[in-house]
Amino acid sequence: MTSRLHFADAGEAADLAAFLARLIHYDKAAAVRLQAAGDTLAVFGRPPSFEVLAIRTARLTEPYEYGLDTALDVTVSAGEFLEQVGESAELVETARGVDVPEAVTGPPWAGVLPPRGGWRPEPGLPAPDAVRSLIKQSVAEFRSRVEELPAERRVRAELDRVGREIWSRPVGDTELPVRAAHAAQTLGFLRGDALTLLSAGAWLRLRTAYGSVAVRRAGASGLSVTPA
């Protein structure tokens, strides 16, 4: 049977719809993994340009219908889910709930998620304004270096090389790569003054009031698989 989610209010649905739309901007065939327990829905996605996992949560009033009374864990089409959530976001009353689309065969990343617990604060993260300034400088450097390349060298391999050099640099005195902070900004997460860096095993997580991005530490070995 179709499972159904009830958002706490239209604002929760609207914020989630904006996140899904940004993911689809980078990948029209994007999939998302949904996990719900209690009154919280977590949505995981992977924008391909940044090589990070993006995490957006939404508050629920009634987690499930049709017999799913413990937990929901399913991978679905981001586009199909956006159609449902976007329609809900336009309604003043969301009591009818949102139908969860049919499950799809998930991409490899959907089976390897950050751990649910065990996160601890990491030192060395600059202030939010400094992080935003670093991203701006990095974007400007990339554009400048690409413009300086002779026309015959402006090929994908060379652009990727320049990009890897810039975006793999650490943010402040941390192991977080600049590309993770750039992803957070692009996805609309890097707003306000609440910015925290956390770690759990091989994972780093940049958390804000609007969402998180998670990335595996450079050189990390093995997999951390979130159980279904």
- For every residue of 81-113, DSSP letters joined together read HHHHHHHHHT-S--TT-EEPPPP----GGGG--
Question: Last residue of some domain: 66, 85, 111?
Answer: 111
- DSSP for the chain, written as a single string: ---EEEESSHHHHHHHHHHHHHHHHH-TT-EEEEEEETTEEEEEE--TTTT-EEEEEEEEEE---TT--S-EEEEEEHHHHHHHHHHHHT-S--TT-EEPPPP----GGGG----SS--EE-S-PPPHHHHHHHHHHHHHHHHHHHHHS-GGG-SHHHHHHHHHHHHTSBSTTSS-BHHHHHHHHHTT---SS-EEEEEETTEEEEEETTEEEEEEPTT--S--PPP-
Q: Is residue 37 in some structural domain?
A: yes
pLDDT (mean) for 112-130: 94
Measuring CA to CA, which residue among 139, 132, 113, 134 is closest to residue 208? 132
Q: Say yes or no: 33 and 68 in one domain.
A: yes
Question: Last residue of some domain: 111, 143, 162?
Answer: 111
Q: Which residues contact 60 (CB under 8 A, 6 or more apart)?
A: 5, 6, 7, 8, 36, 38, 39, 40, 41
Q: Say yes or no: 12 and 57 in one domain.
A: yes
Question: Last residue of some domain: 66, 88, 111?
Answer: 111
pLDDT in tens, 154-188: 899 999 999 999 999 999 999 999 999 999 999 99
pLDDT (mean) for 206-225: 77
CA dist 107 and 33 (Å) reads 10
Q: Is residue 203 in some structural domain?
A: no
The answer to whether the Cα torsion of 105, 107, 112, 116 is positive or negative is negative
pLDDT at site 121: 97
Q: Say yes or no: 104 and 191 in one domain.
A: no
If one counts every other C-beta atom within 10 angstroms of the C-beta of residue 88, the result is 23
Q: Say yes or no: 128 and 107 in one domain.
A: no
Q: Say yes or no: 107 and 130 in one domain.
A: no
Q: Say yes or no: 47 and 137 in one domain.
A: no
Token duo for residue 177? 């790569």
pLDDT at site 1: 59
| Count of domains forming the chain | 2
Q: Say yes or no: 93 and 141 in one domain.
A: no
Q: Tell me which residue range forms the domain holding 150.
A: 120-197
Q: Which residues contact 83 (CB under 8 A, 6 or more apart)?
A: none
Q: Is residue 226 in some structural domain?
A: no
Q: Say yes or no: 60 and 152 in one domain.
A: no
- Which pTM does this prediction carry? 0.87
pLDDT in tens, 40-98: 899 999 998 888 999 999 998 865 554 445 678 999 999 999 999 987 666 545 456 78
Query: What CATH number corresponds to the domain at position 57?
Result: 3.10.150
Q: Is residue 223 in some structural domain?
A: no
| Greater model confidence, 228 or 18 | 18
Q: Lowest mean pLDDT: which of 35-39, 88-92, 114-118, 145-149?
A: 88-92
Confidence of residue 3 (pLDDT cuts 50, 70, 90): confident
Token duo for residue 26? 């980078």
